[in-house]
Amino acid sequence: MENEEFSFDTELLYKGDKVKGCDIVPEAAPIFLTSAFNIFGDLDDVNSTYESKGYTYIRTRNPNRHMLADKITYLENGEDSAIFSSGMGAIQTVLFTFLKSGDHIIAGDTLYGESIELIEIMSEYGIEYTFVDFSDADAVKKAVKPNTKVIYGETASNPCVALADIEALAKIAHENGALLIVDNTFVTAYAVKCLDLGADIVINSLTKFINGHSDALLGSATGSKELIDKVLTRQSIFGTTGGTFNTWLVQRSMQTLGLRMRQQMKNADKLARALEKNPHVLKVNYPTVENYPQKELAKRLFKDGMCGAMLSFEMPSDRAKINDFMKRLKICHYAPTLGGVRTTMSHPATSSHRDLPDDMKASLGITEGLLRISVGIEDADDLIADFTQALKAFD
Ligand SMILES: *Cc1c(COP(=O)(O)O)cnc(C)c1O
């Protein structure tokens, strides 16, 4: 497979399957459960190993992280990647690499809850912040200050699926000497390649769609060699490097990313359209439904006009009936994660967004009747039938 470019699904099977210095190649990726690597020989060998950034101690470098980084770098069309202990480990390390006391960050106001908390904590270290609607490029532009160094947000907002115009945001960032850093966890590079659209760094919680099997916690950051080198130096000091076993699990899962995402997006599209037609559903947030407000943007930037496999929909805010609906569902179940092969739901008003003041919830569209769905790989007709019978709770 050397030097030849095949199509995405094929490449993803082979990228990163070689270990430097290893002359046997097992069919499945080997796992290096070791904290250090022996350097046989004398001080000259020790010296050259450090100089050439060879394998020494596990926190700095490990073949499993390199193998996974190669796959992620291919997926994102970047130059290099760093693999972290979690998505939050990636976000924290990247932001603390490019921001220091006196700098300003503009961040999306619908970010993942812990990312908002992280930015608030960063203000205790002298880093100023402004939260704005990330789907409104003009609002982002207006928030720029002379000390703005980073513009940070998510490609699709949680839970109402408002899309960010990455191209426009990259332009604003670069005109003002700032970096555009994007968390693409909800959408994945299968549906949009943020670096190709001008983002400087793309971050993923690999815990979600990229691993897809709900069994590992891990994160990544991808960008140019120059930027990722800086991130890797900090990562080693902060100790946020990804653990070996989780890294190995994610690299195994990634071989089927194309298959999974194709099915998950196809299912999300079919389920969204079926929900849209259901008389008990007030609103569906997904780009392929009739009244989705950012259809043009979705078509321009996202694969087949679809932003991955996350959607949300609104039922009447009647708790007893929603409870009944949830009990009637046979396939889709409640789980506080997303991106797995099984369809799961979450209820933002009582979980991820429970601490927001009521007026904030209202302005973000988070009603008692809003459910967020992470669509899995089940048969689409089974899923639609399951939701249809459960919605009879509202008859
Ligand atoms: C889950 C998630 C994170 C955090 O990732 P962890 O792997 O749980 O640390 C960050 N951003 C988004 C959008 C997420 O969904």
Residues in the chain: 395
Q: Is 123 left (phi over 0), alpha (psi -120 to 50) or beta?
A: alpha
- Cα separation, 187 vs 162, in Å, equals 12
| First vs last C-alpha separation in the chain | 57
Eight-state DSSP code of residue 123: G
Q: Which of 109, 183, 200, 386 is catalytic?
A: 183
Report the DSSP pairing between strands 148-154 and 179-183: parallel
Report the DSSP pairing between strands 148-154 and 104-108: parallel
Model pLDDT, residue 3: 57
112 classed as catalytic: yes
Strand partners, 84: 219, 241
Q: Which of 59, 230, 270, 295 is catalytic?
A: 59
Ligand 1 atom at shortest distance from the alpha carbon of 338: 15
How far, in Å, from the CA of 37 to the mean position of ligand 1?
31
How far, in Å, from the CA of 220 to the mean position of ligand 1?
11
How far, in Å, from the CA of 113 to the mean position of ligand 1?
9
Alpha-carbon separation of residue 235 from 51, 94, 317 (angstroms): 19, 8, 45
For domain 8-256, which CATH number applies: 3.40.50.1000, 3.40.50.720, 3.40.640.10, 2.60.40.10?
3.40.640.10
The closest residue, in CA terms, to atom 4 on ligand 1 is 87
Fold of the domain built from segment(s) 258-394? Aspartate Aminotransferase, domain 1 (3.90.1150)
Helix (H, G, I), strand (E, B) or coil at 203: strand
Model pLDDT, residue 2: 52
Range(s) within the chain of domains with CATH label 3.40.640.10: 8-256
Q: Which of 55, 65, 103, 112 is catalytic?
A: 112
Residue list, ligand 1 pocket, CB within 6 Å: 86-88, 112, 115, 154, 183, 185-186, 205, 207-208, 217, 219
Model pLDDT, residue 1: 46
208 classed as catalytic: yes
How far, in Å, from the CA of 205 to the mean position of ligand 1?
5
How far, in Å, from the CA of 45 to the mean position of ligand 1?
41
Model pLDDT, residue 100: 98
Ligand 1, pocket-test mutation among 83, 114, 346, most atoms within 8 A of CB: 114
183 classed as catalytic: yes
Per-residue pLDDT reduced to its tens digit, 182-198: 999 999 999 999 999 99
pLDDT < 70 regions, the chain: 1-4
Residue 11 burial class via C-beta count within 10 angstroms: exposed 0-12, middle 13-18, buried 19 and up: middle
Helix axes 63-76, 244-253, angle to 10 degrees: 40
Ligand 1, pocket-test mutation among 84, 111, 112, 188, most atoms within 8 A of CB: 112
Range(s) within the chain of domains with CATH label 3.90.1150.10: 258-394
